[in-house]
A = this chain, B = another copy of it.
Amino acid sequence: MAARHEHIANDLRRRITESIYPLGTRLPAETELAVDYGVSRSTIRQAVTALQLEGFVDSRQGARRVVLRTTLAQDVASHENFSQWAKRNGRTPGGLILKRFREPATETEAILFEVAIGEPVLRVLRLRTLDGEPILVERSRFVSRHADIIESLPQDSPSFSEAFEAARTVEVHGNQLIDVAAAESADVTLLGVEKGSQLLRHRYMLRTAAGNPFGDSDDRYKPGTMTFALSNASRARSWSSLAVSRHAR
């Protein structure tokens, strides 16, 4: 099914996050890993290069790779969404739609989403879970046919994006904002945090691959559950085929 280098990358990533290879330690040499996994050195290089690009390890010619970080983090510069991220890390994403209703677009929304004022906009309040644990509260808005897709989904649909893909609508994050926001009453109840506590907030526009906006989202994470990573691609080293998990269009 999955390629060997992907399996190996997943395994090494797990070893790092589980502190089998703690922060600041050296990874085994490529040749050693090749023997351990019973593959060629090239295949090992494919795997560790993926970890390097994700910022887990640093690599310098002549020296062993060093573990730079040990926490799982969503890469905000990629187009991977929450459920894809969860699955790639061997976790089970879940979702529960709590509210789902249409309202006419306000003037602001009309400009934001490039629709007419008064055109219906679907508003969704959803709790998202990881391995059954509440992780974040998602407040999203959708226009036009994307709203139809969402309305046809069951209440506990784990992933909207899969439905978009099935409908041949590719979803892409545009500009993103990250800050903290005070928990509202819904957040307090759903995430089990104290009233007035601060949540990690991630806001972003949703766009089709053609660049047309079709909605946005405001995701608020329970403290301690999520880290966002971004890499300064100035050290853009590469080599053939990373562990790029793709989805059909």
A residues whose Cβ falls under 8 Å from a Cβ of B = 22-26, 42, 45-46, 49-50, 53-55, 58, 60, 66, 68-69, 71, 73, 75-80, 84-85, 88, 107-112, 165, 168, 170-180, 182, 197-200, 205, 207-211, 213, 221, 223-224, 226-249
Which B residues touch A200, using CB under 8 A?
Answer: 178-180, 198, 200
A111 touches B247 (CB 8 A): no
Given contacts A26-B111, A77-B232, A172-B232, 4 further A-B contacts (CB under 8 A): A50-B238, A69-B175, A73-B179, A243-B247
Q: How far is the CA of A233 from the CA of B239 in the complex (A)?
A: 23
Which B residues touch A45, using CB under 8 A?
Answer: 240-241
- Closest B residue to A176 by CB, please name it: B230
Which B residues touch A177, using CB under 8 A?
Answer: 69, 71, 73, 227-229
Minimum CB–CB distance for A79 against chain B, Å? 6
Minimum CB–CB distance for A192 against chain B, Å? 14
A77 touches B173 (CB 8 A): no
Given A77-B76, A229-B176, A230-B178, check contact A210 B246 (CB 8 Å).
Answer: no
What 5 pairs between A and B have smallest CB-CB spacing?
A: A24-B108, A243-B249, A55-B175, A45-B240, A198-B198
